[in-house]
Structure 1
Amino acid sequence: MNRKAALLATVCLAALTINLDTTIVNVALPSLARELDAGTRDLLWVVDGYNLAFAALVLAMGSLSDRFGRRPALVVGLAAFATSSGLAALVDSVEALIALRVVMGMSAALIFPTTLSVIANAFTERRERATALGIWGAAVGMGVALGPISGGFLLEHFTWHSVFWALVPVGVIAIAMTLAFVPESRDPSVPPLDLLGLATSVAALGSLTWTIIEAPEHGWASVTTVTGFVVAGLLALVFVAVERAAEHPMLDVTLFLDRRFSAACASVTIAFFALFGFIFLITQFFQFLRDYSALGTGVRILPVAISIAVASVAGGQLAPRVGTKAVVGTGLALLGTAFLWISTLDVDVSYATTIVPQMVMMGLALGLITTPATESIMQVLPPARAGVGSAVNDATRELGGTLGVAVVGSLFSSLYGAKLVELLQGRLDPATLESARGSVGFTDALATQVPGVARAMEVAFMDGLSRGCLVIGLMCLAGSVLAWAVLPGTRYDPLGESELAVREVVGG
């Protein structure tokens, strides 16, 4: 193995480790619901505690890795990730698990932008870089595949704690490979961290996510929820104002004036909104409604993961030939169509003839979107500032994932709870009905004791899943229209007008 191949294998393993964590935890959600008495809101925080910390800090971490060195950033991030994973395996309450998921997200925020930054600095020729990014995207897709399968295998033989123990040796191996194969690179001219920008961005994203996740509890039209949305919006405006005024902003918001950059960011956000929202729902559908084991669930998610891996490489090769517009626009249209199809599911639908084709369509679409859009984002900044570009890319991925889980999960929770109350009102005492409304796991356990509850749970669950997927599908189709309208329609011109304009902005 030559030096570049070993380096690429190292950063792909680091990226895979982070995505392994996301999907390995998702397949454990039903077990957490049963063993930790976790309701839907708790499960949303288990997933989004990680995603929120990741999305909120990834911009700052990208700058820090550029300034102080990408190699030590990878080592520190992987060490913190492995340690917090080991601690998560020792807890026995959902509150402690959520806290450690936040720490894991902070660690991932340091790792992920560094992997893309290393690639951008090591692979400078465009086609070579496109291939490397395609392989990197395939590694991310493999995380989607290996997480549910490995998690399912562990849950077949051990408790949910084992899914966190499993991440520790993977992190240790990645550290050893980093020390062996990743050369030191840094940009000492990167300015000090923009603390005010960081604080306002964390506050804005945190308040938005909290408001969405807690909305089913307070009511979507309640004073608490409306106030939360208003506060989040005001904080977002403050963030933009702070960044425009800062001498050295954490995020140069003028980058979004470049249509390739802004449209690509929007495409990545939508893609991961769809993926994370889907995985949150489908793992529970398979285990609670279809009674598949955790391992059976992991195996059944494999078609989407394989499709992502294949299409990630294909998308990276197609974009330089036919243009980013065509590849990403087609991918988003395909993704929207897949989710509109998924919204028509019923409980007894055939897995082989219906769900598998839906997953393949969705996976192919995601691969076509993410690699070309990622490359479009990375082309805006010069290699010396690659950490910033990769951090923006990662932030859009995690923002999409965070909002996907929060929005789709909260919408599902509201619709599921309302439908369940409608179907079981008067048949259960108020306290039991309230517990069932807030937790699919509780309802699933109750269904074995009370006649009629199982059917009511099925109807309520499918109502929430159907409308959640309908929202995703319509958003993807809107994103496709945006991509076709805004992204460049021709093959890449290395010194096109938009790139020259951005380079003038950033001084490249």
Structure 2
Amino acid sequence: MSGPPGGARRPGQGRVLAALALAQFICSFAGSNMNVMINDISEDLDTTVQGVQVAITLFLLVMAALMIPGGKLTNRHGRKRCFLAGLVVYAVGALLCAAAPGLGVLILGNSILEGIGTALLIPPVYILTTLLYPDVTSRARAFGLIMALGGIGAAAGPLIGGLITEGIGWRAAFVFQALVIAVIVLLSRHLEDPLPPDPNSAFDTGGAVLSAVGLVLVVMGILAADNDVGLMIALIAAGILVLLWFLRRARAMERAGEEPLLSLGLFRNRTSNLGLITQNIQWLLLMGSSFTVAAYLQTVRDYNAIETGVIFTAATLGLLLSSLSAERLAKRRPQRTLVVTGFAVTIAGVVVLIVLAGAYGGGWPFVPGLLLIGLGLGLMLTPSVNVVQSSFPESQQGEISGLSRSVSNLGSSFGTAIAGTILVSGLTEGAYAAAMITLAALGLIGLAAAARLPRTPAPGGTPGGAAAVPTAP
């Protein structure tokens, strides 16, 4: 597909971009806004902090497990149709949560239906953005807005959720999500699918089941760590075996000339592989620190939902400042530099959180660290996505978009599961420090991967050197 000459704007393209960005916002918001409702939900539904953690983690896990199948379905049914179907399923789940009488219904609405809806609607967001903005500069601007709203949704989720919870009630936060979905549907009236659907496109149902089961087993194993180490080992081992079965099956299908759920050829691109690692750990850091700090403030320091949300405005401000600068920064600095710097700043923020929270009381010691985390994450979210998406031609955008979003949401699941499991095992100062130290250590892995990204041409040739990777034809 080729865009308008010189990347000219199509009629209604502004509304379309607003719809895509809002979709990313509400899905990211859903992943973090429950963090400030932990006490309210657990008391109202007669459950525990761990019960709420399971609901949050399962939501993120369902997204991760179904994102690759969701990306493949866009080829068969069309990007717009999948996008709208995902919005409808998501809205039904949100309204079900608003009326939930117990934890089981909350998990059905939030973890299952909202997770499925997100897996259907998010891959089209990234595929459509890549197709509608074919040149690197306009694509960086579009991804900058989408990732900014995604990051802000995750960071501002605690504040918005806190305001709604304290002012009306936690159930109203899910009604708010349904209302935003209605706005997105209205904005999507101008959305046109750049490519026709292919009803004959192959869909690997067996691969979809294997990949989902494998990921679920691994994350459930992490969640079981604080109760039964033996069960944790068994679940994780079983999950790894299922995922290996999935990969072996995909390789056999490719050799037989069939189309598996995920082409193993996607993993032959070194630049994309490194970019996927950075994406995974970025969202692990964001969601892990968000859950840990929010749970700690409410259960250890007895902050209410709105007080917790106000403290998180520091992270929101940092994300807003750096994410909205994505286009300008892409013109001046290589993407590798932005990702490396982002990880360094984020890790520094985690360290500051540990040191100041341990030395001082009150809420202000959390502000500097959260601000740094927001700045660091906002700095690298967009270039990491652009590196991955721009590494593949148009024909593979469905697959790589699903893989990219799956890897990112799997990072969110890991962050909440790992840090949350450490925290809820003790809910003490020591457990908080241990969870944050674990996040910082994992951040170092992301930094190492970012440092190995290829050095791109200095600014002056192409924006941020982004053209060093192949773009859609």
Scaled by the length of structure 2, the TM-score of the pair is 0.90
2:129 is paired with a residue of what secondary structure?
helix
Task: Report deviation, 1:48.
Answer: 1.3
Q: Which whole-Å CA distance do the structure 2 matches of 1:487 and 1:202 have between them?
A: 32
Shift of 1:499: 4.3
User: Which of 411, 419, 423 is the equivalent residue of 1:412?
Assistant: 423
| Pair 1:234-2:241 in alignment | yes
Q: Distance in 2 between matches of 1:291 and 1:40?
A: 14
Amino acid at match of 1:372: P
| CA distance, structure 2, for counterparts of residue 31 and residue 181 of structure 1 | 40
Say which of 197, 208, 220 aligns to 1:198: 208
**2:425 corresponds to 1:470:** no
Q: 1:217 Cα shift?
A: 1.4
Instruction: Check 1:68–1:80 CA distance in 2 against 1; reply closer, same or farther (3 A cut).
Output: same
Pairing partner for 2:363 from 333, 345, 351? 351
Q: Is the CA contact (8 Å cut-off) linking 2:122 and 2:405 kept in structure 1?
A: yes
2:326 corresponds to 1:310? no
Number of residue-to-residue matches in the alignment: 452
SS of residue paired to 2:366: helix
1:334 maps to what in 2?
Answer: 345
What is the CA distance between 1:72 and its match in structure 2? Answer: 1.6
Q: Deviations over 1:397-450 (max 9, x none)?
A: 101001111111112233x1xxxxxxxxxxxxxxxxxxxxxxxxxxxxxxxxxx
Structure 2: distance between partners of 1:159 and 1:6: 31
Q: Secondary structure at the match of 1:27?
A: helix
1:290 corresponds, among 301, 324, 328, to 301
Q: CA deviation at 1:322?
A: 2.6
Separation in 1, partners of 2:96, 2:58:
16
Q: Aligned runs of 1:60-79 on 2, under 5 Å?
A: 60-79=69-88
Change in Cα spacing, 1:245 to 1:317, as seen in structure 2 (3 Å) is farther
For 1:4 and 1:351, the matched residues in 2 are separated by 42
Aligned match of 1:248 in 238, 250, 259?
Answer: 259
Task: Identify the match of residue 167 of structure 1 among 177, 196, 199.
Answer: 177
Give me the CA root mean square deviation: 2.2
User: Aligned ranges for residues 14-163 of structure 1 at < 5 Å?
Assistant: 14-101=23-110, 102-163=112-173
- For 2:63, give the aligned amino acid: F
1:375 Cα deviation after fit: 0.2
Give the CA deviation at 1:261: 0.2
How far is 1:187 from its partner? 4.8
Output the CA distance in 2 between the equivalents of 1:370 and 1:261: 14
1:468: how far off? 0.6
In 1: Cα distance, 2:208 partner to 2:193 partner: 26
Q: Percent identity?
A: 23
Match of 1:181 among 185, 190, 206: 190
Answer yes or no: is the 8 Å Cα contact 1:313–1:371 preserved in 2. no
Structure 1 spans left out of the alignment, 5+ residues:
417-459
Between 1:259-268 and 1:192-201, the stretch displaced more is: 192-201
Deviates further, 162-171 or 482-491: 482-491
TM-score, scaled to structure 1? 0.84
The whole-number CA distance in structure 2 between the counterparts of 1:95 and 1:152 is 23
Q: Residue 483 of structure 1: which of 440, 450, 462 is its match?
A: 450
Alpha-carbon distance between aligned partners in 2 of 1:140 and 1:301, rounded to the nearest angstrom: 15
Q: Which whole-Å CA distance do the structure 1 matches of 2:19 and 2:238 have between them?
A: 41
CA contact (8 A) 2:71 2:124 kept: yes
| Partner AA of 2:51 in structure 1 | D
- Separation in structure 2 between the aligned mates of residue 255 and residue 490 of structure 1, nearest angstrom: 24
Moved more, 231-240 or 308-317: 308-317
Matching residue's letter, 2:447: S
Measure, in 2, the Cα distance between the counterparts of 1:310 and 1:493: 22
Give the residue type in structure 2 aligned to 1:74.
Answer: F
